[in-house]
Amino acid sequence: MSDPAAADLRWLNAATRLAMPALGTTGPMPPVGAIIADPAKTMLIASAVTELRGAGQAELLALTAGQGRTAGRTLYMTLEPPSASAAAIAEAGIFRVVVAQLDPEAASSGAGLRALTERNIEAVHVPYDPAHVLIEGYGSRLARNRPFVTLKITVCADGMVGYQQPGEAPPMGPEAVRFVDRERAASDAVMSGIARAEIEDNDLRPHLPGFTDRAPLRVVLSGGKEINQRFRLFTEIGGGPILVFAHPEHPVNLRQGINVVEVDGRRGHPELKKVVSLLATGGVNRLFVEAGARLTESFISPSSSTASTSSTAPRPSAASVSPRRCSDASRSASTSRDIPRLTVRCWATISCASSSAADHAHLRPTSGRAAAPR
């Protein structure tokens, strides 16, 4: 007979893997994976994931999918259900509910489990850390009115940031390019400064097979530089909506369908704090920033934060990055930074070696169906 605790973790792992591909698609709600199973028989009954833009709750969808076969079964969820779902779960005859994460909103944390217990359903919190990735953006938005930010910067071996000439091909290896596409697909919004957008002239859309239909909000920060409307970003039809943040001193006029929001700031640039707060208010949980020199400086200025490097290979510290332009880069490094009012995870492409995609394999195409753990 298998260990019940180990079985719970295996099913929570299955629910987590089921929900991972939905990252970036369910805002303002977090992606939640729900599995109804008979753990004693290792039998999957039904499964579901939060629908697009949070239109459908995972636990209710799973109950519907397993209608007539749910009595006496166990419901596994990556996040505790809201109290309002307790009645439907009880009506379906669910015997036990196991959750990997509690609600990150302090006022609601544990309330869903208590509501289930009141209906004589065994409700258990079995901490499963990998499931935290699913709610880190949602939790950041609730707690600080800020999305969870992943910052990708291009760094030369000498510590310089950026590209050399407009129109250059991105100096990244194929693994790093795939990483960027995965992060775009897993984010509610993708941000770039206008200077970098001009140099790279890309559309900020994911081009990874299986995810080309993803449409994250595309955000551009405009300063004093006039916007060239011949960029692919502004001329191609399709992809996610485009939102341009501009300073009131430098108004911009763009084609119909592109939204422009004016935000005050210093030196003719929109204030970054206000921008990310507005994005969070709009339901953005996860923000992927493809930064050039100026935007990098705004996010990781050594004077405003301390860095801790989480990479294993020898790489330059982000604190030593000089926000100037350079050309050659091809390797990925990870740095986590706690900036006042912002939590940022940095990925820097660094010259002299090729990157590995092994650490970023959490996002893959899926049929939406879970498999019973082995």
Q: Which amino acid is at 283?
A: G
Question: pLDDT by residue (tens digit) across 159-179?
Answer: 666 655 555 555 567 888 888
- Of the candidates 248, 244, 278, the one whose C-alpha atom is nearest the C-alpha of residue 264 is 248
**Does CATH number 3.30.360.10 belong to domain 138-357?**
no
Helices (H), 22-161: 58-65, 86-91, 111-118, 136-144
Sheet bearing 96-99, strands edge to edge? 43-49, 33-38, 74-77, 96-99, 122-125
Residue that has been written with the tokens 């953006």 in this structure: 137
Long-range contacts of 65-71 (CB under 8 A, 24+ apart): 65/36, 66/36, 66/92, 67/92, 69/36, 69/45, 70/36, 70/45, 70/46, 70/94, 71/95
Q: How many C-beta neighbours within 10 Å does residue 114 have? A: 12
What fold, for 4-134?
Cytidine Deaminase; domain 2 (3.40.140)
Compute the C-alpha angle 263/223/178, nearest 5°: 100
Number of alpha carbons in the 13 Å side-chain half-sphere of residue 184: 29
In this predicted structure, what is the pLDDT of residue 352?
30
Check residues 271 and 174 and name the one with the higher pLDDT. 271
Check residues 374 and 130 and name the one with the higher pLDDT. 130
Number of alpha carbons in the 13 Å side-chain half-sphere of residue 81: 34
- Of the candidates 363, 360, 355, the one whose C-alpha atom is nearest the C-alpha of residue 172 is 355
Domain with CATH 3.40.140.10 in the chain: 4-134
Domain with CATH 3.40.430.10 in the chain: 138-357
Question: pLDDT by residue (tens digit) across 60-100?
Answer: 999 999 999 999 999 999 999 999 999 999 999 999 999 99
Cα–Cα distance, 194 to 223 (Å, whole number)? 8
